């Protein structure tokens, strides 16, 4: 089983391309952000620690974490944000490693795709066999975020400034998918790359 990490800036279209991979190839898809949310649900390994750190006022009536209340607390306090990350990120990595081992034992999927916004920053390059970078130029990403998520220009500016540069993504990744044009162009690039792997088998 080949383990491939997928990363790229917000608005680059990673989700759509992962749907395509899942639909057309025998693979397992795991989103690190969803794993983080799962681990913070009641009964999850991070739930009690996060609540102990931030206080019970971030809880909803059913005991789950109010994501909006949590975000309001941690994004105005960098120390709290780092403390939450110190709880969640190692647990997510451990969960991902477990999922990879379990998938490998099943011997059903030929590929395991891991999507993580912080794939490079969190050292996932040591876990995956290779990394793919989904690229889209800034104007295209900005248009998608405005139309698809109704983000304002100021919000988009702050997000783009906080993310890695195109040069950094390219320096750390083995394969680049250009998703600036029609989506079928990106699909063609994926099919060609996947065809190389399947041919080698």
CA 11, 12, 14, 15 torsion-angle sign = positive
The tens place of each residue's pLDDT in the chain, 201 residues long, gives 999 999 999 999 999 999 999 999 999 999 999 999 999 999 999 999 999 999 999 999 999 999 999 998 888 888 999 999 999 999 999 999 999 999 999 999 999 999 988 889 888 888 999 999 999 999 999 999 988 899 898 888 888 888 899 999 999 999 999 999 999 999 999 999 999 987 644
Structure tokens that stand for 15 in this block: 């989700």
Q: Is 154 exposed, middle or buried (0-12, 13-18, 19+ CB in 10 A)?
A: exposed
The owner of tokens 């793919």 is: 132
Contact 168, 119 (CB under 8 A): no
Q: Report domain extents, the chain.
A: 1-26+110-188
The per-residue pLDDT for 197 is 85
d(CA 138, CA 136) in angstroms, rounded, equals 6
CA 154, 158, 163, 165 torsion-angle sign = positive
CATH code for the part of the protein at 1-26+110-188: 3.40.50.300
Structure tokens that stand for 152 in this block: 């304002």
């Amino acid at each position: 089983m080949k383990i491939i990490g997928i990363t790229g800036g917000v608005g680059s279209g990673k989700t759509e391309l992962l749907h395509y991979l899942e639909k057309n190839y025998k693979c397992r898809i795991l989103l690190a952000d969803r794993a983080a949310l799962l681990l913070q649900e009641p009964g999850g390994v991070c739930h009690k620690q996060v609540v102990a750190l931030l206080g019970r006022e971030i809880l909803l009536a059913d005991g789950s974490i109010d994501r909006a209340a949590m975000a309001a607390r941690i994004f105005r306090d960098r120390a709290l944000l780092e403390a939450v990350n110190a709880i969640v990120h190692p647990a997510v990595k451990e969960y991902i490693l477990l999922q990879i081992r379990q998938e490998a034992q099943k011997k059903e999927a030929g590929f395991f795709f891991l999507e993580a916004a912080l794939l490079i920053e969190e050292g996932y390059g040591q876990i995956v066999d290779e990394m793919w970078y989904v690229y889209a130029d800034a104007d295209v990403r900005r248009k998608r975020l405005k139309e698809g998520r109704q983000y304002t220009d100021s919000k988009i500016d702050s997000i783009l400034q906080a993310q890695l540069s195109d040069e950094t993504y390219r320096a750390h990744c083995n394969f680049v998918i250009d998703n600036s044009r029609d989506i079928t162009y990106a699909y063609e690039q994926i099919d060609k790359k996947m065809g190389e792997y399947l041919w080698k088998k």
